[in-house]
């Protein structure tokens, strides 16, 4: 199973309430519309952000791939915050990936089934940066309201918004990541890492994290 290459990923299982959202790397990553000249620096639109959005399934597919952190930093995620206390409606926030850290191991489901990781994403909404496990990344698409809220927050907090050109470059980095050619040494290192994390994993941790989301 560790000889998987490029785009040859099996479709990851999605939550029943998020079917048909187009999450995972089986969907094409296109640079269209064509990259504008840098000097014009047109602002990114909803569809541009969507092309560089990662859900939990995509994290599961490439989180152990060499170059993962540098390629995915600067991409975007849709954070699941849980139901609104008054309306009960699920809440989500759009956030940019600022980097990664490690903490308590937890279980994640990938194309070949469940595995354990200790990776957490540092996600920023405006100037506020918080750490989340990959399972907190929604598989649903960004909405116009979520983008508007994100843009207003960034503008009010003097946080620079990305251009179309910047996000187009991130698409190239994503494609390079998913087409990475694994060496035998890298495969052995990935297996060793997964086995070590599995030994450290507390089965009760997945349930604990799930209750927080």
Q: Are 54 and 170 a contacting pair, CB within 8 Å?
A: no
pTM: 0.76
Query: Which of 42-56, 66-80, 82-96 is predicted with the least confidence, judged by mean pLDDT?
Result: 82-96
Domain boundaries of the chain, sorted by first residue: 52-205
Q: How many CB atoms lie within 10 A of CB 148?
A: 12
Instruction: Check residue 11 and give its pLDDT.
Output: 34
Instruction: Check residue 16 and give its pLDDT.
Output: 37
Mean pLDDT of 152-179: 94
Residue 30's pLDDT band (cuts 50, 70, 90): low
| DSSP-derived pairing of the beta strands 128-133 and 76-83 | unpaired
Instruction: Check residue 6 and give its pLDDT.
Output: 38
State which fold the 52-205 domain adopts.
Cathepsin B; Chain A (3.90.70)
- Mean of per-residue pLDDT scores for the chain: 82
Taking only the tens place, the pLDDT of each residue in 153-166 is: 999 999 999 999 99
Mean pLDDT of 50-72: 95
Instruction: Check residue 12 and give its pLDDT.
Output: 38
Token code pair at residue 196:
């070590």
- Look-up: residue for tokens 């251009």? 163
């Amino acid at each position: 199973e560790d000889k998987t290459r490029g785009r040859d990923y099996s479709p990851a299982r999605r939550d029943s309430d998020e079917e048909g959202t187009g999450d995972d790397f089986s969907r094409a990553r296109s640079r269209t519309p064509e990259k504008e000249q840098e000097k014009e620096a047109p602002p990114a639109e909803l569809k541009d952000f969507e092309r560089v959005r990662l859900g939990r399934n995509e994290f599961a597919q490439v989180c152990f791939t060499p170059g993962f952190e540098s390629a995915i930093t600067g991409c975007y995620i849709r954070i699941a915050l849980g139901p609104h206390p008054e309306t009960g409606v699920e809440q989500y926030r759009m956030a940019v990936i600022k980097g990664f850290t490690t903490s308590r191991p937890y279980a994640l489901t990938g194309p070949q089934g469940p595995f354990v990781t200790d990776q957490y994403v540092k996600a920023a909404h405006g100037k506020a940066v918080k750490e989340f496990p990959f399972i907190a990344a929604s598989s649903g698409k960004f909405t116009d309201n979520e983008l508007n809220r994100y843009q207003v927050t960034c503008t009010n907090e003097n946080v620079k918004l990305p251009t179309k050109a910047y996000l187009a470059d991130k698409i190239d980095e994503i494609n390079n990541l998913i087409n990475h050619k694994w060496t035998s040494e890298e495969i052995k290192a990935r297996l060793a890492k997964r086995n070590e994390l599995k030994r450290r994993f507390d089965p009760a941790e997945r349930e604990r994290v799930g209750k927080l989301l």
